[in-house]
Structure 1
C-alpha cells in the first residue's frame, strides 16, 4: 500500500511539474516617455540630477524601489520621446506603498502643493508622452 501511495505522488508530481510555468515573475518597471521642449534639455537634466535624483535615492534607501535610470532616445519621428525614465519596483505589491512614497516625497521635495507647482513648472521643459508598467519574466 505504501508503495502504491509513493508511486501515486510521484506521478501526480510529474503532472504538476508539467503544468508549472517556465518562468517566474520578476521586477516591475514603470517606463515614462518624455519629449524635451526645444532649448530645455540641460534645464530638465538639472532637475533630474537634483530633486528627482534626491527623491529616487530616498525611495531606494527606503526599499520602495530597487533602481531608476534615465535613457536618451533617438526619436524616429518628431512626436517621439527623446528621453525615457524608468523606475524599478521589486514586484507589483510595491506599487501599493503609495502612502510611504508620498511621505518620502514630502520630506525630500516638500508638501503636495509645492510638488504640484513644480510639476506644472516642468511642463515648460518637457512633455510627458505617456507611461507604462512592464513586468520582467525570468525564464527558469
Structure 2
C-alpha cells in the first residue's frame, strides 16, 4: 500500500514538473538575437576611443549590415554610473536569429581584412585599442514576444 502511494505521488510530481516546464515554452515566441557589449573607457582616453570607434569599428559594422550579417547596431552611453569601475559606453549588434551566428567569424574576417588590409595591421589597431578601454561584459540576449 505504501509503495503504491509513493508511486502515485512520484507520478503526480513528474506530471506537475512536465506541465511546469511546458508552460513557459508557450508563453512567448522567440525572435532575434543581440550581442550587448559594455565597455569602460580608461581615464583620459575618451577621445582616442571614439576616434577608433568611428575610424575602425563603425565601418566594419556598416559592411556587416550591408552584407546582411547583422540587422542593425546601436551605440549607447551609461548616464547613471554606479561606481568608477562601471561601464561608460556600450554597443549592441542585432542578428536575425541564432543561425545567423553560424560561420560568422569567417564571414566577418573577410570584412575586417578589407578594412585593415592584413592581420598585422589589424593587430596594431587592436593593440592600440586595448590602451583605451576594457570590456566589462559581453552578453548574448534573445528577443521574445509575449503571447
SS in 2 for 1:138: strand
Structure 2: gaps (5+ residues): 1-21
- Provide the C-alpha distance between the structure 1 equivalents of 2:61 and 2:131, rounded to a whole number of angstroms: 22
80, 94, 105: which one pairs with 1:98?
105
Q: CA deviation at 1:123?
A: 1.1
26, 33, 37: which one pairs with 2:38?
33
SS in 1 for 2:92: strand
Counterparts of residues 41-60 of structure 1 (less than 5 Å): 41-60=46-65
118, 130, 136: which one pairs with 1:123?
130
C-alpha RMSD of matched pairs (Å): 1.7
- Provide the C-alpha distance between the structure 2 equivalents of 1:27 and 1:66, rounded to a whole number of angstroms: 9
Q: Provide the residue aligned with 1:15 in structure 2.
A: none
Q: CA deviation at 1:105?
A: 1.2
Structure 1: gaps (5+ residues): 1-17
CA contact (8 A) 1:55 1:109 kept: no
CA contact (8 A) 1:69 1:85 kept: yes
- Provide the C-alpha distance between the structure 1 equivalents of 2:49 and 2:84, rounded to a whole number of angstroms: 19
Q: Provide the residue aligned with 1:114 in structure 2.
A: 121
Counterparts of residues 75-94 of structure 1 (less than 5 Å): 75-94=81-100
- Provide the C-alpha distance between the structure 2 equivalents of 1:69 and 1:50, rounded to a whole number of angstroms: 16
SS in 1 for 2:53: helix
Give the TM-score of the pair, scaled to structure 2.
0.77
Deviations 1:55-113 (A, max 9, x none): 00000000000111111103101111011111111111111122111111111233222
Q: CA deviation at 1:128?
A: 1.2
